[in-house]
Amino acid sequence: MRHRMYVAVGLALMTAALAGCSPEDSAQAPEPVAAVVQEPAMDSAAVEETGEVAGLVWAIPTTWERANDRPMRVATYRTPAATGDSEGGEVAVFHFGPTQGGTVEANVERWFAQFDPEDGQPIREVAEREELEIAGLAVTQVRTRGTYNAAAGPMAPRADIRPGYALIGAIVEGPEGAVFFKFTGPEATVEEQAGAFHALLESLQPR
């Protein structure tokens, strides 16, 4: 009698346990699905554009704007104006061919001759010149400031006179001839954008 009572109690407990379980509880839980994270689209405005001529390539600073094509120029870039300046700067790029455009010395002299120092000093006392090597390329860099004769050419009359201007120029002796980078503008603007100009020079690579 006691044995039958134990069996009955056991069957009752098993029945209650099975009643409390659902098929979902007995099935194996699915593995969690990893969330898919999409990479943000690249902002095209943050990607540097490049310029190229005569076997050389360079990165254009992102704050500069390309200007319309001009005769005799590979490219022209406009830089932002410094606070207080009425206009921004201009970076002109020239290439005249493997044996054209004159010597480095002739071009340095011509650039310096376009400026009259504000205080009447000889141009040589305010002008600077430095010889560099960038990516295996010989680079002559010059700087000066004063009243700029922004005439169209070396023989043009002094009709476009701009006081308070500055110049940073670079002549790069590339694999297919010299490439000239001439940055002119109000002195404060040129000083403010000097780092961007130097970054362009540092980015130069033979193609």
**How do the domains of the chain map onto residue ranges?**
44-206
**One-letter amino acid for residue 123 of the chain:** I
pLDDT digits (tens, 9 = 90+) for 75-110: 999 999 999 999 999 999 999 998 888 999 999 999
pLDDT digits (tens, 9 = 90+) for 161-188: 999 999 999 999 999 999 999 999 999 9
Residues whose CB is less than 8 angstroms from the CB of residue 46 and which lie 6 or more positions away in sequence, other chains included: 62
Global pTM value:
0.75
Q: Rounded to an integer, what is the distance from CA 119 to the centroid of its chain? A: 35
Q: Rounded to an integer, what distance in angstroms lies between the CA atom of residue 88 and that of residue 186?
A: 7
Query: Minimal CA–CA distance to 87: which of 170, 200, 190, 160?
Result: 190
What is the homologous superfamily of the domain 44-206 according to CATH? Mog1/PsbP, alpha/beta/alpha sandwich (3.40.1000.10)
User: pLDDT value at position 22?
Assistant: 40
User: pLDDT value at position 154?
Assistant: 55
